[in-house]
Structure 1
Amino acid sequence: MLDALIWVFRNIAMAFYNLGYAITHPQSWLDWSDSESLIRFIYYGASVELLFVVMTAFLLLTIVGMWRNSIMWGTVRVLEGFANAVGRVAAWAGLIMVLQQIIIIFLQRIFRVSEISVGPFGVIFTKDLSWFSEELKLYNALVVTLCVSYTFVQRGHVRVDLVYSAVSFRARRVIDMFGALFFMIPATVLIWLYSWFFMWRHLVTPKVSASDKIELLLRKARILKWNVETIGFSPNGFNGYFLFKILLVAFTALVFLQAIAFFFRSYLEWKEGPESDGKYLDVDPLDDAEVPMTAEERPAN
């Protein structure tokens, strides 16, 4: 037990050095023309060092935010604003998906076209109709992965309510804090550890693994090269499935940031009381006459 505590505190102390070194030596991990720099980026992107840098930053921000609530509210507004901005842009993929599906049906069923050529700036992009049909999955993935935190901010997720509606306002905020801290954050960390290397295994060769040590990866760097996955499920089908792996990583990062924002908001609303419910919350009403409901006004599910 003592060894574990020493290990934790040592890594927290080293987090300041690791962050400072990464900031002052960006060429050691951002110069992707150098294979060793790329391999460091891959390794440290899901490493213990990064975990403790993020955890230490979260702890410091929490402590400072408890002292100065305005700083914590500012963090909430920035993180929720970022989630809203990404979600509002990505939501347009749903419209594009519907329009493209309509075009495919017309071209295939009425005009009997076998391929589509697109060339907005003189560069002709020609693919089989089945390629564009399978590409619709990408638009769906964009909506699911990039709009998840936006939907959370908009209070659009379904809550399976067993005790939530029956307890007091501050008890609800304690439940929210517990859920963010012990469910959302650990789940996103676990998904990140798997999805990060899962993504890179489809972008570079030789394949990298979470169990590889930095010394082994640096030896692999001698023969490292880009090998982006371009294999489709059918001969003429969509072949950009590596984009789904990238979206999985983006999804995890967005949910992690929203978990932090939700924890901070829940703490601040717990501290300030019911009058702070929905404070600074940027919710999109469906029409001009609609007023978003607070947690107390929404019916229990």
Structure 2
Amino acid sequence: MLAFADAVDRLNQRVANVVRWLALTMVLVQFCIVIGRYVFGYNSIAAQESVLYMHATLFMLGAGYTLLVDKHVRVDVFYAKLTERNRRRIDIFGHLFLLLPSMTVLLYWSWPSVRNSWKILEGPMSVGGIEAVFLLKSLIPAFCCLIILQSLSLLIRLLVQGAKS
């Protein structure tokens, strides 16, 4: 089981190593859009949409890594004051009864929309935009899968850690 957890961790690490460059690329593209518009009077809907696509990709595919390194949003009002054992219990509960079910439901309910988008190769959101909304929608199941896998990895580690103590 730990080999599975290690493989999932490596997967999310590799995905993060790729998508992190989108942050820099997004800034550069946005800079070019602003210069193009205000200096040269040129505007590109596709360039503007590319920033949206990069932003969505960065956050949707980087979420698994964020969970891996424990930088996700957490309300630490009580959690920080708890013992390690009680934190582990809360984490196990959160993975089993909150995170995994919610990601499963999101995956289930979004899949028909993603499937239909691929079926028609859904085009741009705006005239002159990027003709790949189906790719943008595909980020939803990818996000769910990466989060589910990372949640399982963390759950395995929490259970192994609990068994040792």
Judge same fold: TM > 0.5, yes or no.
yes
Give the distance between the partners of 1:75 and 1:170, measured in 2 at CA.
24
Q: How many residues align?
A: 165
Greater relative contact order, per chain length (Cα 8 Å cut-off, separation 6+): 2
Task: Give the TM-score of the pair, scaled to structure 1.
Answer: 0.52
Pick one of 172, 175, 189 that aligns with 2:87.
172
Structure having the higher helix fraction is 2
Give the distance between the partners of 1:160 and 1:172, measured in 2 at CA.
12
Identity %, equivalent residues = 28
Compute the displacement of 1:160 (Å). 0.1
After superposition, the C-alpha distances for 1:6-42 in whole angstroms (9 at most, x for unaligned) are xxxxxxxxxxxxxxxxxxxxxxxxxxxxxxxxxxxxx
Partner of 1:253: 145
Pick one of 23, 33, 39 that aligns with 1:110.
39
The amino acid across from 1:99 in the alignment is L
Work out whether residues 174 and 267 of structure 1, in 8 Å CA contact, stay in contact via their aligned partners in 2: no
Does the residue aligned with 1:201 lie in a helix, a strand or coil? helix
Q: Within 5 Å, give how 1:20-99 maps onto structure 2.
A: 72-99=1-28
Compute the displacement of 1:111 (Å). 2.3
- RMSD, aligned α-carbons: 1.5
After superposition, the C-alpha distances for 1:64-98 in whole angstroms (9 at most, x for unaligned) are xxxxxxxx222221111111111121111111111
Partner of 2:69: 154
Partner of 2:114: 199
Partner of 2:156: 264
Higher alpha-carbon Rg: 1
The answer for unaligned runs of 5 or more in structure 2 is none
Work out whether residues 203 and 228 of structure 1, in 8 Å CA contact, stay in contact via their aligned partners in 2: yes
Compute the displacement of 1:232 (Å). 2.3
Compute the displacement of 1:150 (Å). 0.5
Work out whether residues 131 and 238 of structure 1, in 8 Å CA contact, stay in contact via their aligned partners in 2: yes
After superposition, the C-alpha distances for 1:167-223 in whole angstroms (9 at most, x for unaligned) are 22122112111111111111111111111111011122xxxxxxxxxxxxxxxxxxx
